[in-house]
Amino acid sequence: MQRSSMETSISLFPLDDVELLEELCLPKGLFPLDDVEEFGYDRSLGFMWLTHKKKKDHVFKKIKQTVSYATEVTTIVEKRRMKKMSGVKTRELLLWLTITDVYIEDPSSGKITFKTGTGISESFPSSSFELE
């Protein structure tokens, strides 16, 4: 998708990312907020992107999981789900796997699931991804 041709709501403030995640019933700490240069969301398409100044590795301490964020992250969002994600990888053993989907199937479970392009999925407590 080309961003230049879309009607967008662009802000340079990371808080908008947090508000959108909250609106979508997703944990507010899914993306690191430091070094965010741009956040955009096309509500009509459900297309969201954010750009960082540089690639960022982030450790989610509660689950001891390292996640790498490219300078540009894009995804299609809907309530309790992000799909067709690009720019996010997780480290499993010695491999970096691209995360393609993030979703909360059953809100009462308190779990959020991450699915890779290889079909591997893993669930964690949603509370592990709240703002630190």
- Residue 14 pLDDT more than 60? no
- Residue 8 pLDDT more than 60? no
Q: Tell me the C-alpha distance between 129 and 132, whole Å.
A: 8
Amino acid at residue number 11: S
Q: Looking at residues 3-10, what average pLDDT do you find?
A: 48
Share of the chain above pLDDT 70, in %: 87
pLDDT tens per residue, range 39-61: 888 888 999 999 999 999 999 99
DSSP class of residue 16 equals H
- Structure token digits, residue 7: 């009607």
- Structure token digits, residue 59: 């450790």
Please give the pLDDT value at position 73: 96
Q: Which residue has the tokens 């802000």?
A: 11
* 34-64 burial: b if 16+ Cβ within 10 Å, else e: eebeebbbbeeebbbbbbbeeebebebeeee
Please list, in sequence order, all residues whose beta carbon lies within 8 angstroms of the beta carbon of residue 7, skipping any fewer than 6 positions away. Answer: 42, 44
Domains of the chain (ranges, CATH numbers): 7-129 (2.30.240)
pLDDT tens per residue, range 99-124: 999 999 999 999 999 999 999 999 99
Considering the chain, what is the average pLDDT of its residues?
A: 87
Higher pLDDT, 85 or 12: 85
pLDDT tens per residue, range 19-36: 889 999 999 999 988 888
Please give the pLDDT value at position 9: 53
Higher pLDDT, 130 or 8: 130
